[in-house]
Structure 1
């Protein structure tokens, strides 16, 4: 029994990501970001800046796989701001597998020469500021980001509001809820084109276009604030038992 307990403890220890001390050179920038107040959820969507995020990873295992790339685009005043975007590849000690590279197209050399993870994540935090975040299937993107933020900067995004379009879309369009589950499904519904699928920035842009389509119906239903969109999403989760 004692031996089994020791083996179990060692397995848990090896699964725990090793934290890297936050570089001293980032301290001032980090503290400036941490002092920012999150956007008030009572604010209207049209009066807000929202950051639409997508990530590329070495695989789909949220425990063992790593964050490779982050793409984001901002929505301000109800418009996608192409000039206000974020595109970053994080340096990898070891590139991901060939089969994984075939999915996202980030070659091994580009992974090895990417931006140092702490610096890349610091730039992301500065890009986000205090603004709410939008993604499709938040659980994956948020978990992978939180894991990397914990390892490299010892922080998280838990104070930032997240809006998950994987739940907001079916909440608004119940007739599509049963057979439309992926981003590709909803892109087809609204005829959104993405010629660079599984590129983080391109997928963020497609997600931003989906958000604007959904927000039109939100406004027609009298949902104008960030909190109202969050409530619609949460209520649908409750209906689905998620």
Structure 2
């Protein structure tokens, strides 16, 4: 039986030819292979104060309580504006806000608590609107409060004033004695007479009552004024505040 050593040189030659390629491969990839564990080590031990890694795709981050509360009040204001105060129920608000009823009751135990918070937020925004107008009217102190009330109460272009929500709540006060008794007191801050002589205070009070008449007529929809007529009415009320002295 014959031995077949003839392939050995070929194998050796193949091995010899492959060796430089292996060396080249080792030369190119070895540093990368050395660096990778170090990179993993750094990633596994983040520095103190470094930002937390982003949540994996599909993970839902839990909303902060402040965000949920704001979302609930926004939903309540939308329902009140669209359908009236009686439509503001816990179930309706939770559904509109996209939260569970239990999450809503974490912030507001009942409907009254929700309405109190909604009215408080609305009145606070109205007050901020009033204060901003008073600050801008510092050169004309005479009648400034009446002018601020006039423009804040009829302003439909400033969402921060929550004018529409305030109107709906005031409309509810007209028909519901309990709501009227509960919310009338905080509104008197901006409707009380100016500390002026009687005739001057009366003229400024007439301006406030005229402003109320404007927005109530808008709310009830019985007054059909052209934009030009409305603008002139507002201009004349404002002029009355300037001539109240």
Higher-Rg member (1/2): 2
Q: Which has the higher strand share?
A: 1
TM-score of the aligned structures, taking structure 1 as reference length: 0.20
Q: Which has the higher helix share?
A: 2
